[in-house]
Structure 1
Amino acid sequence: MIIAITGFALPKPITHGEARSIFLSTAPTYQDVPGLLQKHYLLSEDGATAGGVYVWNSQADAEAMYTPAWRAFVREKYGTEPTVTYFDSPVMVDNVAQKVFTY
């Protein structure tokens, strides 16, 4: 399993409510993306940085998302250049399912 964390500085801080509205407007674009298991939107406490935590089946699936077109979408939507950092996740604890998964 691959975790990708994206982030970008916002041109001006936004509130939780503003972030929720913006994030809901983009959420449909992430539904049914091949290999994407989960996406968690992020907003820093001061509202100046946003991003996401993505859980992927594979590195190839993740890399297929973060194309020049995706970067342009983020630049156009938020006015800033995103960063993407990949992590291998060999073990996951799921307290809802009461299970530990290995990959």
Structure 2
Amino acid sequence: MIIAITAFRLPEPISPDEARRIFLGTAPTYQGVPGLFKKYYVLSEDGLTAGGVYLWNSRAEAEALYTEAWRTFVREKYGIEPVVTYFDSPVTVDNVAQRIVADER
């Protein structure tokens, strides 16, 4: 599994309520994306950095989302270039489902 973290500095801070409204507006676009298990929207405490934490099946599936069209969407919506950082995630702990999941290698 792969974790991708996206982050972008906003030109001015937004409130948690404003972030929630914006995030709810874009959330449906991530439903049904091949290989995407979960996405967590994030906002820094000072409201100046927003982004997401994504759990993917594979890097190839993650990279299929972060296209130039996606980058353009983020630039137009938030006015800033997003940064994407990838991490290998060989094991996850899911306390809701009460299970540990290991990457199949």
TM range (shorter): over 0.9
* Aligned match of 2:44: 44
List runs of 5+ in structure 1 lacking aligned partners. none
RMSD after superposition: 0.5
Aligned residue for 1:46, secondary structure, equals: coil
Structure 1: distance between partners of 2:16 and 2:41: 11
Q: Deviations over 1:21-46 (max 9, x none)?
A: 00001011111111111100000000
Secondary structure of residue in 2 paired with 1:62: helix
In 2, the alpha carbon distance for the partners of 1:21 and 1:14 equals 11
Q: Normalised by the size of structure 1, how large is the TM-score?
A: 0.98
Correspondence 1:63 to 2:60? no
TM-score (norm 2): 0.96
Unaligned runs of 5+ in 2: none
SS at match of 2:80: coil
> Residue 85 of structure 2 aligns with which residue?
85
Counting only pairs closer than 5 Å after superposition, residues 1-103 of structure 1 correspond to structure 2 as: 1-103=1-103
User: Structure 1, residues 49-99: CA drift from partner, whole Å, max 9, x if none?
Assistant: 000000111000000000000000000000000000000100111111221
Q: Which portions of structure 1, spanning 4 or more consecutive aligned residues, are displaced by more than 6 angstroms?
A: none
